[in-house]
Structure 1
Amino acid sequence: MLQRYVDSGVVPGLISLLSRGDETRVEVLGRTAYDGPELQRDSLFRIASFTKPIVAAATMVLVDELRLSLDAPVDDVLPELAHPVVLRDPDGPLDDTVPADRPITVRDLLTFRLGLGESDNASLRQREEELELHTFGPPVPRTPLEPGEWMQRLGTLPLQYQPGERWLYSTGSHVLGVLIARVSGQPLEDFLRERIFEPLGMRDTGFTAVDPGRLTTAYIGEDLLDPAAESQWLTPPPFPDASGGLISTVDDFHAFARMLLTGGAGVLSPAAAAEMTTDQLTPKQRAAAAGFLGPETGWGYGVSVSADRYGWAGGLGTLWSTSPVDGTISILLTQRALWTWPEELFAEAVAPAW
């Protein structure tokens, strides 16, 4: 079904995985680049926003260990976010603010309800650009800022909404990466490796390519974005992007997806895994987020949640869906930016059949 998208050049290659119970089917089609060698099952892809649920799971490891509390303020660990102020009018000028009704909590970060995110306030967007807070690209290019400097600059912004009031995409994951590193006393990638990747056998996942020869090339449409031979993922980043910076393989991410489906697999408690994949939004918040998430779709921790499935997408060309109803996991990895996919590829990718 998907071969024709490779044959016609829509994508240089793709890897499709379907699993249910003990059965897993994998198709590897095409090449690592339009002019590259053939894809292999262990080829490395930029999984972009698949990073978000992984970082959310790492946060829940700390919650399970009582090193974090979901509803406790983050002020003691992230003093840059202490005493926030909020725009009186979400669309208004940045100097017209009121004190926040309450502190920002860990749950606010996990559910993207801290009050900041991808904004439609033009003045706020301009200020973020001036402060280089959006230099994570999509996620190319990387930000040149170290985590501490990035947090200091973020802390100068007013919140667009009161903490807990509105779902706004992405910024919560950036902040969670800093929170995890500070609470654990380890660089983010070290903590992810010790507590998520190694226990699950995800030996190829990280912020830097473990084997440059297996790295694919990334495209926006047919235009080159990040060539494998000169990729930014060949060197460690100044600020590991907890929102979209990981690269991985189809089998590595499948191991993560199975962990959530099977109740934590010893990495998370069953309660934490269930919490992650349960819709946390109110009906009003879901309605406000429908233009981004889609109709009747909510948000857990790093994943979208609907009546019969949860999962998410990576902007650089990846899709993942898990159905807890029948235990089906579907993963599709490509090298073409998601927003340049033809509609028919979306339709076939989100509705896999056995």
Structure 2
Amino acid sequence: MAYRNFETTELSRRTLFRGGSLLAAGAAISTLPFGRAAFAHDVSQAWPNVAALADKYVSSRKLANLFLTFGWGQNDHAHTVGGGTLSLSGSTPVDESSLYRIYSMTKPVTGMAIMMLVDDGLLSLDQPLHDLMPQFRDMQVLVDPEGSLDDTVPTNTPITIRQLLTHTAGLGYLITSKGPLLDAYRSNGLVGGRVSRIPIPGIPSVTPAPNLEVWADRLATLPLMYQPATKWSYSCSIDLLGRVIEVASGKDFETFLKERIFEPCGMASTWMTVPESEVPRLTDNYGILAGMPLPVDPAAVSIYTDAPKIPSGGGGLVSTPKDYDRFLRMLLGYGKLGKERVMGENAVRVGVSDLLPATVDTSGSWMAGQGHGAGGRSVNGTFGWGGAAGTLSAVDFNLGLRSALWTQYMPTEAYPIRDEFMAALEKDLTAMRAAKAA
């Protein structure tokens, strides 16, 4: 079966990554009125403008759901704002156990898996990729990123693990490459996350490579877009790290994530394939056309009920607000979740820091003036990333705050939700400050 792959869209992702909207909210949330209570509950009453924003989108049926979570430090549960239903055609409400396609929010998970292997001594950040995968030793670079695949020059430096973590290896992507290189990615089945079984006008069907090993081997035969360690360019590098994890650990990628992250964190509902028994918890995903949501991946026939040929470290996971909050909580604990040590403290501290190579030019990119860690944006003590279907998450180490926004629609720029969220958040905080001063 051919994939309907989200990476084949020509959609801008700048809205998603422009300023890390939720990351920027951290400093403003330091006076959260619900304090640090240990039990999860809806706090919409304390956040009338944020709650009104969620209600506006849900009650007008622009979205089936808009659900936010906020949690402090090692408190067991995150508090919630907003809601809605799993589907516009149904009545089952979303909650912290609802299943969402998190797409690129998979990247920080893969990044931390790499940091575990660094901590284990099986990898190092500045280790050449060809140490593990010799097929990447003699890579070529396009003279023109949109030009002929035959017009290339050799790489000046080898691809490293650090570069793969930070999108600075020079690799392409089905949403950033153009011209012959884009055609080559498609013809070689170099897919990432999936969208739908339903044919989507304007989005070519791509038959994926048969498995992750072949996917990586095919990638190695294609030229890079840029010289390694010179430019930040959003890429398939985190997907390639899934294969790196397999080679370094001796375990298949999904097994490694399950054994080293999901089970120790208690993330019992995070998968690349949704079990049939859990489909009743899965949200519908919508495409927004002229302001109208149209189902592109209904839960009952979701492509995520099929096992992927390519387990995508860059965009393949389905998870729940509760599960992902436990991952964020582990990061806030610098590798500990409660009393459980999931990963080394230094591995987290390094992974959430700015790992960009000093030689990289970020001007004109989504990372201009900002930092990038192990699979996520790193800015002023915050770390996080977003997903192609509207999800977004962050940890703020300065405040000990973990937060996430949950919804399901594509493309993210169809609605100005993140800008509106920031404005609503500030209105609520202004009212709180005024009440406190009175």
Q: Does the alignment reach a TM-score above 0.5?
A: yes
1:4 aligned partner: 56
| 1:301 aligned onto 2:374 | yes
**2: distance between equivalents of 1:166 and 1:257?**
29
Where 1:237 maps in the other structure, the secondary structure is coil
Pairwise mapping of residues 187-202 of structure 1 onto structure 2 (< 5 A)? 187-202=252-267
Given the superposition, is the C-alpha separation of residues 285 and 189 from structure 1 closer, same or farther in structure 2, using an over 3 Å criterion? same
**Structure 1 residue ranges without an equivalent (≥5):** none
1:205 aligned partner: 270
1:100 aligned partner: 155
Pairwise mapping of residues 333-352 of structure 1 onto structure 2 (< 5 A)? 333-343=406-416, 345-350=417-422, 352=425
Given the superposition, is the C-alpha separation of residues 24 and 169 from structure 1 closer, same or farther in structure 2, using an over 3 Å criterion? same
| 1:244 aligned onto 2:315 | yes
1:175 aligned partner: 240
**1: distance between equivalents of 2:374 and 2:402?**
18
Where 1:285 maps in the other structure, the secondary structure is coil
**1: distance between equivalents of 2:376 and 2:95?**
27
Aligned with 1:319 (options 392, 407, 426):
392
1:230 aligned partner: 301
Deviations 1:41-66 (A, max 9, x none): 20100011010000011111111000
1:112 aligned partner: 167
2:72 aligned partner: 20
Q: How far is the alpha carbon of 1:285 from its aligned partner?
A: 2.4
State whether residues 229 and 359 of structure 2, in contact with CA within 8 Å, keep that contact through their aligned partners in structure 1: no
1:62 aligned partner: 117
State whether residues 139 and 245 of structure 1, in contact with CA within 8 Å, keep that contact through their aligned partners in structure 2: no
Aligned with 2:331 (options 260, 266, 269):
260
RMSD over aligned CA atoms reads: 2.2
**2: distance between equivalents of 1:96 and 1:176?**
27
2:208 aligned partner: 144
1:34 aligned partner: 88
Where 2:125 maps in the other structure, the secondary structure is coil
Q: How far is the alpha carbon of 1:14 from its aligned partner?
A: 2.5
**1: distance between equivalents of 2:383 and 2:264?**
23
Q: Which moved more, 1:107-116 or 1:17-26?
A: 17-26
Q: How far is the alpha carbon of 1:28 from its aligned partner?
A: 5.3
Structure with max Cα Rg: 2
1:331 aligned partner: 404
Q: How far is the alpha carbon of 1:139 from its aligned partner?
A: 4.6
Deviations 1:135-182 (A, max 9, x none): 436655685321122122211111111121111213111100111122
Aligned with 1:50 (options 83, 100, 105):
105
Q: Which amino acid aligns with 1:87?
A: L
**2: distance between equivalents of 1:299 and 1:10?**
33
Where 1:286 maps in the other structure, the secondary structure is coil
1:269 aligned partner: 344
**2: distance between equivalents of 1:275 and 1:350?**
29
State whether residues 138 and 155 of structure 2, in contact with CA within 8 Å, keep that contact through their aligned partners in structure 1: yes
**2: distance between equivalents of 1:336 and 1:277?**
28
Q: Which amino acid aligns with 1:113?
A: T
Given the superposition, is the C-alpha separation of residues 59 and 350 from structure 1 closer, same or farther in structure 2, using an over 3 Å criterion? farther
Given the superposition, is the C-alpha separation of residues 139 and 187 from structure 1 closer, same or farther in structure 2, using an over 3 Å criterion? farther
Using the size of structure 2 for normalisation, the TM-score is: 0.74
**2: distance between equivalents of 1:17 and 1:201?**
18
**Structure 2 residue ranges without an equivalent (≥5):** 1-50, 198-205, 430-438
Q: How many residues align?
A: 349
Q: How far is the alpha carbon of 1:102 from its aligned partner?
A: 2.2
Where 1:320 maps in the other structure, the secondary structure is strand
**2: distance between equivalents of 1:25 and 1:338?**
27
**2: distance between equivalents of 1:242 and 1:84?**
22
**1: distance between equivalents of 2:132 and 2:89?**
47
Deviations 1:287-317 (A, max 9, x none): 242xx34x53321111112235321110112
Pairwise mapping of residues 118-129 of structure 1 onto structure 2 (< 5 A)? 118=173, 119-129=176-186
**1: distance between equivalents of 2:207 and 2:193?**
8
Given the superposition, is the C-alpha separation of residues 29 and 327 from structure 1 closer, same or farther in structure 2, using an over 3 Å criterion? same
**1: distance between equivalents of 2:214 and 2:306?**
20
State whether residues 159 and 228 of structure 2, in contact with CA within 8 Å, keep that contact through their aligned partners in structure 1: yes
Q: Which moved more, 1:166-175 or 1:306-315?
A: 306-315
Where 1:202 maps in the other structure, the secondary structure is coil
Q: Which amino acid aligns with 1:8?
A: S
Aligned with 1:74 (options 129, 151, 155):
129
Q: Which amino acid aligns with 1:225?
A: V
Where 2:313 maps in the other structure, the secondary structure is coil
Q: How far is the alpha carbon of 1:93 from its aligned partner?
A: 2.7
**2: distance between equivalents of 1:128 and 1:207?**
22
**2: distance between equivalents of 1:47 and 1:32?**
15
Deviations 1:228-275 (A, max 9, x none): 011111122111111101000101101111111221112222221112
**2: distance between equivalents of 1:195 and 1:137?**
22
State whether residues 141 and 227 of structure 2, in contact with CA within 8 Å, keep that contact through their aligned partners in structure 1: yes
